[in-house]
Amino acid sequence: MTAADTHCPYCALQCAMTLTATPDGRLPVEVSGRDFPTNRGGLCKKGWTSAELLARGDRLTAPLMKQPDGSFAEASWDEVLDRIADSVLTLREKHGPDAIGVFGGGGLTNEKAYQLGKFARIALRTRLIDYNGRFCMSSAAAAANRAFGLDRGLPFPLADLDTADTVLVLGSNMGDTMPPFVQHLQGARAQGGLIVVDPRRSTTARLADDGAGMHVQPVPGTDLALLLGIAHVVIAEELYDRDYVDERTVGFAAVRRSVASWWPARTESVTGVPAETIRALAQRLAGSSSAYILTGRGVEQHVDGTDTATAAINLALLLGLVGRPGSGYGTLTGQGNGQGGREHGQKSDQLPGYRKITDPAGRAHVARVWGVDPADIPSAGVPAVQLLARCGIDGGVRMLMVHGANVVVSAPDVSQVRAALGRLDLLVVSDFFLSETAQLADIVLPVLQWAEEEGTMTNLEGRVIRRRRAATPPPGARSELWIMRELAARLGAPGTWSLDPSEVFDELARASAGGLADYSGLSHALLDSGAEAHWPYPAGSSGTPHLFRDRFAHDDGRARLVAVRSRRQETPRGSELSLITGRLLTHYQSGTQTRRVAELNDPTPRIVAQLHPVTARDRGIAAGSRIRLRNVRGVVDAEVAVTEDIRPDTVFLPFHYAGAESANLLTSAKTDPHSSMPEFKNAVVTVEAIAGAE
């Protein structure tokens, strides 16, 4: 190999990079940035250090089987695959097919995500599959589907933001989570139009300093009320685009009634955002020639996350931004293939191409591609939180297969998740490191890393891109495609189970044909030619970089303005604080990868809580001391950083740490009724100094 053009293994920005053999051989490859519309040659620290993961000494290189004493011993592939297949057949016979569950991941390639959905439904015959994207994009997806009839994170290329004079960012800290994104905000900053809504003065919020824009710091959990208040001003002051609303939407009257009571003074009383700021936000957005509204997990990971994202969409529709050249609404996909991973069958209620599993025509189409009877495709399953809760209970899941997820760090109320996994008859985890979830497994299957495989990913713009092999994997590691083929053969599953990612992609393209997420015009060969490839990309087309220019995906072509209302959430009482969680610059998701790279882990090796100086003083807490955060679900001890960047009624924890440092020991498994998104971003805790701690 001389060089391979590929993409970063981390977030959905999917920055382009070139991998070349290292002259000294210390690492299998070295990384250099490559010009690409999202990153323009730049990479963040995670991207620059990504090759370190390929040379780790603790890389899994052989299947592992849990021994009676709790230790692991290496086993042969035949031994572990035979045991898995035998367990499936036994449990299926004794308890039915839904005794087996599958939990997927938003980092899997399109090919593996597609094949995993197919494998679950026609090899395992279970309906119980969902994935960790449920914890990421589900509220935004639910909101977009009901408003537009279609969910794509950004319905426009990211580079369109370059010329915006106003960008409203709600609940995203891209300055830390995807730093190369920031260059696309420079136009808005130059015009004084970067508006960041966040209870913390995050890295992104600081970009709005010194005349570059505005940082709005609401009470945690009140983003929906804030959006209703802004919409009230837009309608009351007749700042909305009347022609656009009349010609391209339905539902205006109901939305007007729903925001009528959210006058600025009332909104201020709930959110803490001054009434004059609320008016200024509405007027700035309405007066801009090029404006965008972007949402992220901070406003979506709530039990009202779908309604909050809907309120942001309503505001964008009232202003006529969606589908208008130079303006728009979008949501920022987090995981590397969070977009593609949910399009082609990992979600409990979807078949490839964003087809609803309850749609008879969609079932018939996919069944033809798979070579099965439509009746052989199971019905809809249950979302991730409910799937994990079923583990080990009577009549529930007895065996769980986990692919590309670390649920005992990333799931809410993780004490309950750990207990549930411990009740299983068999836990099988596929990973390339012994993650915290893998440590609990009965069988661990070593799989390939990003630079060792071919395939495709779909980034936050809906752009389908190529992942290319640049390094030789350890002899004992296998692709998930190989694992699924071997198990499908042992289970007597129908259909074809190719090992060639390009052939799997071709099948995915046929299965998606005619669906909302239509990939039928795409192939590895076309992507290798350098073609721009934004889905939908039906056969014979050139793709769709810009959605909604002429019509929305509902049958009548109009968007839905959906009336939503703010509901009272759990709020602190007395000396309690609101806990919010989020990411750090040098870490990613559950930390399985980044906590293994010294350059990334050394700056922040342990969990650190952020407290406001007034909050710390009132509790006798000094900077650098240790504190205890507690609620009905759990306890977390952390070092404290005292900073004015956070509200006095709030405490912040990063969620990358494991064991007793897991922030999700404190978060709630309550879910949004529309999306089944857990309440990650707002829990109520008490905070106290730990006596005698230095």
Tell me the pLDDT tens digit for each residue of 533-562. Answer: 999 999 999 999 999 999 999 999 999 999
Of 627, 617, 633, 669, nearest in space to 652 by CA: 627
> Cβ of 551: how many Cβ atoms within 10 Å?
14
Rounded average pLDDT over 134-140? 93
Residues 6 or more apart from 179 whose CB is under 8 A from it?
42, 44, 585
User: Partners of 639 in the beta sheet?
Assistant: 608, 626
CA atoms within 13 A on the CB side of 326: 9
Query: What number of residues does the chain have?
Result: 694
> Looking at residue 342, what is its pLDDT?
86
**Alpha-carbon span 134 to 220, nearest angstrom:** 22
What confidence score (pLDDT) does residue 23 get? 80
pLDDT in tens, 574-593: 999 999 999 999 999 999 99
Neighbours of 480 (CB within 10 A): 23
Structure tokens at 16: 């382009």
Q: What residue ranges of the chain are covered by domains with CATH 2.20.25.90?
A: 3-55
pLDDT, position 567? 83
Strands (E), 392-492: 399-403, 426-431, 443-446, 455-458, 464-467
Band (51; pLDDT cuts 50, 70, 90): very high
Lowest mean pLDDT segment, chosen from 337-346, 355-364, 574-583: 337-346
Across 514-530, average pLDDT: 97
Cis, bond preceding 536 (omega within 30 deg of 0): yes
CATH 3.40.228.10, the chain: domain bounds: 138-331
**Range 434-456 average pLDDT:** 97
Q: Are 91 and 425 in contact (CB under 8 A)?
A: yes
Residue 524 has pLDDT above 80, yes or no: yes
> Which is higher by pLDDT, 437 or 339?
437
Provide the mean pLDDT of the chain: 96
Measured CA to CA, the distance from residue 433 to residue 431 in angstroms comes to 6
As a whole-number percent, the residues of the chain with pLDDT over 90 amount to 95
Q: What pLDDT score does 354 carry? A: 95
Residue 333 confidence (pLDDT) above 90: no
pLDDT of residue 294: 98
**What pTM value is reported for the model?**
0.96
Position 277 pLDDT exceeds 90: yes
3-state secondary structure labels for all residues of 624-651: CCEEEEECCCCEEEEEEEECCCECCCEE
What does the pLDDT look like over 37-47, one tens digit per residue? 999 999 999 99
Quick one: tokens of 387? 């799937």
Give residue 1's pLDDT.
Answer: 52
Give percent of the chain above pLDDT 70.
99
* pLDDT over threshold 60, residue 694: no
Q: 138-331 — its CATH code?
A: 3.40.228.10
pLDDT over 90 at 691, yes or no: no
Residue 452 pLDDT > 60:
yes
In the sheet that 426-431 helps form, which strands lie side by side, from edge to edge?
Answer: 72-74, 64-66, 443-446, 426-431, 399-403, 100-104, 129-131
In the CATH hierarchy, which top-level class contains the domain 3-55?
mainly beta
Please state the separation of Cα 693 from the chain's center in Å.
37
pLDDT at 26: 80
Distance from the Cα of residue 540 to its chain's centroid:
31
From CA 23, how far away is CA 204, in angstroms rounded?
A: 38
| Cα 147 to the center of its chain, rounded Å | 20
Residues 606-642: tens digit of each pLDDT: 999 999 999 999 999 999 999 999 999 999 999 999 9
Helix then strand then coil, in percent of the chain rounded to 5, is 35, 20, 45
The pLDDT, as a whole number, for residue 36 is 96
Model pLDDT, residue 693: 54
Fold of 67-135+337-528: Rossmann fold (3.40.50)
* pLDDT value, residue 49: 96
pLDDT score of 692:
65
Tell whether the model's pLDDT for residue 185 goes beyond 70: yes
What is the rounded CA–CA span in Å between residue 209 and residue 66? 54
Q: Looking at domain 577-689, does it have CATH number 3.40.50.10780?
A: no
Dump the DSSP string for 329-377. Answer: EEE---STTHHHHHHTT-STTEETTTEETT-HHHHHHHHHHHTS-GGGS
Q: Contact 30/56 with Cβ under 8 angstroms?
A: no
